[in-house]
Chains A and B, each alone.
Chain A
């Protein structure tokens, strides 16, 4: 599975956009980019995923570069409740030998300040 690199921590002011970067320079053509977050003592929460195109849902936007070697998760208006560890994961699509297993790294600790 492709590895990801994320900054260990980031800060953001409440109400501002939080932009969380992720490098995945060894990503394969059939691998998706997933983002999860984990609030203290809870299970990871799915946020968004994408393959090639930018994606948006009610929680966030995902911007994937054209070469797919990096991506950015955007929380458009961060709130205090968005304080969490954010994980960027690449995982194969159906049919890959590692299909079904998520490999979590250390993630980025996002702290949203009042």
Chain B
């Protein structure tokens, strides 16, 4: 089963360090999404790509966050100068743009900023 995969699954870092997460979508999916989930809350939308184009970004995506999908396949999410408030689960989802755009999620990357 080639579902959505994310790497790493867990990341512990010190405040001020940069971190990068990777997402590999389901191979035939042209849309890719990033969400963030803090403890006790539902996932919150961060950004999404159709192919290599970043089509929407949430206000949650501050200047310290950047996402790329250079060849329309895998995507990376980088957080610069991490803060304790960035501690969360970062989720990636992918879909095929069609009549219902059903999104399938990966297992997430749990970030802890000390």
A residues whose Cβ falls under 8 Å from a Cβ of B: 32, 34, 36, 41-46, 49, 51, 85, 87, 91, 93-94, 99-107
Contact = CB atoms under 8 A, between A and B. Distances in A.
Q: Chain A interface secondary structure, helix, strand, loop or mixed? A: loop
B72 interface: no
Given A32-B100, A49-B100, A107-B42, 6 more contacts: A36-B105, A46-B102, A85-B42, A93-B100, A104-B42, A106-B41
23 contacts: A34-B102, A42-B108, A43-B91, A43-B106, A43-B108, A44-B91, A44-B93, A45-B105, A49-B100, A51-B100, A87-B42, A93-B100, A93-B101, A99-B101, A100-B48, A100-B50, A100-B56, A100-B95, A101-B45, A101-B48, A104-B42, A104-B43, A106-B42
A94 B101 contact: yes
Interface string B89-108: 10101010111111111111
B44 A49 contact: no
Interface residues of B, number: 30
B31 interface: yes
Contacts of B107: 42-43
Interface string B24-47: 000000010101000001111100
B43 A102 contact: yes
Contact of A100 (B44, B55, B110): B55
B56 A101 contact: yes
A68 to B, nearest CB: 15
Interface of B: 4, 31, 33, 35, 41-45, 48, 50, 55-56, 89, 91, 93, 95, 97-108, 110
A105 B41 CA distance: 8
A49 B91 contact: no
A94 B50 CA distance: 13
B56 A94 contact: no
Contact of A94 (B97, B103, B108): B97
